[in-house]
Structure 1
Amino acid sequence: MSDQQPTSPSKRPPRQSRTGLTSTGVKKAASKSDRSRARGFALQGLYQHLVGRNPADDIDTFTRDLLGFNKADAAHFDALLHGCIEHATELNALIEPHLDRPWLEISPIEHGVMWIGAYEFKFCPDVPWRVVLNECIELAKEFGGTDGHKYVNGVLNGLAPQLRSAEVQADRAKKA
């Protein structure tokens, strides 16, 4: 049967580079720190709380059974999940002056990311403000809408000088 066409080589997707980032610029799972993983799981839990009004203890139990949780910093996860829910009113009050729209128009993902950022700024002084900001931008890129990370960046950049004034001023003075 010489009339048959030769089969074309299989179409494979292009290989991703091994830089630790996906093609969309998000950190690959293997390159994430324990705390980064904890933030991701906390965000998923905060989403459940914001959308489904699920209680923190139920979310906690459910999340600990998820694949990969054993690689996360469980203590930081606890602090973020329970702390953000416990201090939700205070965190919303801190964030709200930096918003350009009502809370109802903010995606629950961006809302949760901003809670995490505000919580870490206020209650986790061991985490540098730049790390908080960068981690929140990464969360918004990974879980949020197309440009949600830009909005989160703007809001948290406005909030940082209020909650970490000495650290922000010292960091900016180094750059000048």
Structure 2
Amino acid sequence: MSQAQARTLARKCALQAMYQWQLTGYDLVEIERQFVEEHGLGKAEVEYFKTLLHGIPARVDEIDASAAEFVDRPLKEIDPVERAILRVSGYELLFMPEIPYRVVLNEGVNLAKSFGASQGHRFINGILDKIAHKYRSVEIAAAKNGSLRP
């Protein structure tokens, strides 16, 4: 399994863990234990999963604020799966500049296609694209000018 595939799997597990955290409010250490010991992360990149699992709740207000600018309703009214996807991808866009924005958008859309409502991927794509344009404008401009590889 490649590093990219291991990261994709880590994101998928992080999405499921965030969904659980949102709905139950369980302690993050307990959720981590469940995923690592009980569910087993298989070939997922475990450290990346842990980074997302603990990083997202620590900065959830900032992540939610970045998405709230671009949605037409309060975030608490967004489907919990889609809210979790916005949080995972939003965290990567805001706090992990080493991950290309196109990778973040693609991964978020794929998560929405797998776990979200039938047209949820369109909603996710639109919001993540707007967040990326606001917070990754230099990267996007460089990509358009050919300075960075797409």
TM-score where L is the length of structure 2: 0.90
Specify the alignment match of 1:127 in structure 2: 99
Aligned ranges 1:1-176 → 2 under 5 Å: 33-67=5-39, 69-174=41-146
Which consecutive segments of 4 or more residues in structure 1 shift more than 4 A?
none
Against the structure 1 CA distance between its residues 66 and 36, is the aligned structure 2 distance closer, same or farther, given a 3 Å change threshold?
Answer: farther
> How many residue pairs align between the two structures?
145
Deviation at 1:66, TM superposition (A): 4.6
Letter in 2 for 1:153: N
- The alpha-carbon deviation at position 148 of structure 1 amounts to 0.8
The percentage of aligned residue pairs carrying the same residue is 36
Which residue identity does 2:123 align to in structure 1?
A: Y
- Displacement of 1:173 in angstroms is 2.9
Once residues 133 and 114 of structure 1 are traced to their aligned partners in structure 2, the CA distance between those partners, rounded to angstroms, is: 10
Q: CA deviation at 1:65?
A: 2.7
What's the offset of the Cα at 1:67?
A: 4.4
Structure 2 spans left out of the alignment, 5+ residues: none
Change (3 A) 1:66 1:163: farther
* Aligned-residue CA RMSD (Å): 1.8
Distance (Å, rounded) in 1 between the aligned partners of 2:110 and 2:145:
25
Contact 2:63 2:94 in 1 (8 A): no
Q: Which runs of 5+ in 1 are unaligned?
A: 1-31
Equivalent residues of 2:17, 2:53 under 8 A apart: yes
Distance 1:74 1:133 in 2: 21
Deviations 1:116-170, CA, capped at 9 Å, x for gaps: 1111012112211000000000011111111111101000000002211111111
